[in-house]
């Protein structure tokens, strides 16, 4: 009899523990894989720790393998917050009504893409892309990810606008490296003669002494455009409590850990809105990436 009672108590305790665990909410976020995964994991685990302490909830970062996977995770409510590029953010917000861009880096108001070239090409830097037409035509060229704003959308837009041809018509071979760091390495090694990547990756790698400037150089910089941002689902208040969206927004805007900011790299975060990214939406529609 005593044994039966003990068993009942154990089952009851396990049931209660399981129920408590199931009801506990974890706030989950992701980020587009625009750089080497090891760098991203270190950066965003730091963000998760920071948000957890600020929000007083369990916060977890989950890495994804592609830009499309980040958008899908957001759409399917596997994550409630994401660090998107301009284009991926527009795509995600179209798929999840009520979702909002809530914060962007100070530098994201006026982002740039750098066109880089292996020095063996003999291509010299220029202020106008049009003046490089003869030097660039017929070269091999790599974008970053197909879903990247700075690594694909904006460079493709300027190539089409300036040269009147699609990239695969203008260049002899076009590739997609997958991320900005890989674009840099492929052009540096001469695997591709020319490539496009976001200026922050170039500047950080340069400052860290990780670029062979005898092998690769910047040849052109795009005009400024809005890019990265934090986007949050519109239903987080229902799930995590009234005012939760505002608390997340304030936590991101108040992030002042210099080591964490430098890992992005950003000098800080400022308010953002969906309207800020209308230029990205319109550009993507013009070149047929968005319907």
**Alpha-carbon Rg for the chain in angstroms:** 22
* Alpha-carbon gap, residue 254 to 259, rounded angstroms: 14
Q: What is the mean pLDDT of residues 259-269?
A: 94
Burial class (CB in 10 A: 0-12, 13-18, 19+), 164: exposed
User: Within 13 Å of residue 140, how many CA atoms lie on the same side as its CB?
Assistant: 15
pLDDT band at 204 (very low <50, low <70, confident <90, very high): very high
Q: 3-class DSSP state for residue 259?
A: helix
* Alpha-carbon gap, residue 71 to 258, rounded angstroms: 28
Q: 3-class DSSP state for residue 73?
A: helix
Predicted pLDDT at 288:
86
Report the greatest alpha carbon distance in the chain: 92
Q: For 71-75, 141-145, 280-284, which range has the lowest pLDDT when averaged over its residues?
A: 280-284
CA-to-CA dists, residue 148 to 88, 110, 186, 237, angstroms? 7, 16, 17, 30
Domains and CATH numbers, the chain: 27-109+226-286 (3.40.190.10), 112-221 (3.40.190.10)
Q: Which residues pair with 269 in a beta bridge?
A: 105
pLDDT tens-digit profile of 142-196?
999 998 999 999 999 999 999 999 999 999 999 999 999 999 999 999 999 999 9
Residue 34 has pLDDT above 90, yes or no: no
Residue 17 has pLDDT above 60, yes or no: no
Containing 31, the helix (H) or strand (E) segment is strand 26-31
* Alpha-carbon gap, residue 5 to 21, rounded angstroms: 24
pLDDT tens-digit profile of 35-47?
888 889 999 999 9
> What is 104-166 written as a DSSP string?
EEGGGGGB-EEEEEEGGG-PPP-S-GGGGHHHHTT-EEEES-TT-IIIIIHHHHHHHHHHSS-
């Amino acid at each position: 009899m005593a044994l039966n009672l003990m068993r009942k108590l154990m089952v009851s305790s396990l049931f209660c523990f399981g129920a408590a665990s199931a009801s506990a909410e974890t706030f989950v976020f992701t980020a587009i894989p625009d750089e080497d995964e090891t760098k991203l994991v270190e950066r965003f685990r730091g963000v998760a720790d920071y948000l957890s302490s600020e929000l007083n909830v369990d916060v977890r970062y989950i890495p994804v393998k592609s830009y499309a996977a980040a958008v899908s995770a957001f759409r399917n409510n596997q994550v409630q917050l994401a660090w998107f590029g301009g284009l991926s953010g527009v795509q995600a917000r179209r798929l999840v009504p009520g979702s909002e861009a809530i914060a962007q880096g100070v530098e994201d108001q006026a982002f740039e893409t750098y066109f880089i070239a292996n020095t063996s090409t003999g291509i010299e830097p220029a202020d106008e892309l049009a003046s490089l037409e003869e030097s660039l035509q017929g070269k091999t060229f790599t974008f970053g990810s197909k879903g990247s704003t700075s690594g694909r959308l904006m460079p493709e837009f300027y190539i089409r606008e300036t040269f009147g041809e699609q990239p695969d018509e203008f260049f002899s071979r076009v590739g997609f490296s997958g991320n900005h760091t890989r674009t840099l390495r492929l052009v540096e090694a001469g695997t591709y003669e020319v490539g496009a990547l976001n200026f922050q990756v170039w500047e950080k790698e340069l400052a860290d002494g990780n670029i062979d400037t005898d092998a690769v150089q910047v040849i052109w910089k795009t005009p400024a455009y809005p890019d990265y941002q934090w986007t949050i689902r519109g239903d987080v208040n229902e799930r995590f409590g009234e005012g939760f969206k505002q608390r997340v927004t304030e936590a991101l805007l108040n992030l002042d850990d210099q080591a964490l900011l430098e890992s992005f790299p950003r000098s800080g975060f400022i308010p953002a809105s969906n309207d800020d990214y209308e230029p990205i939406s319109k550009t993507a529609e013009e070149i047929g990436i968005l319907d």
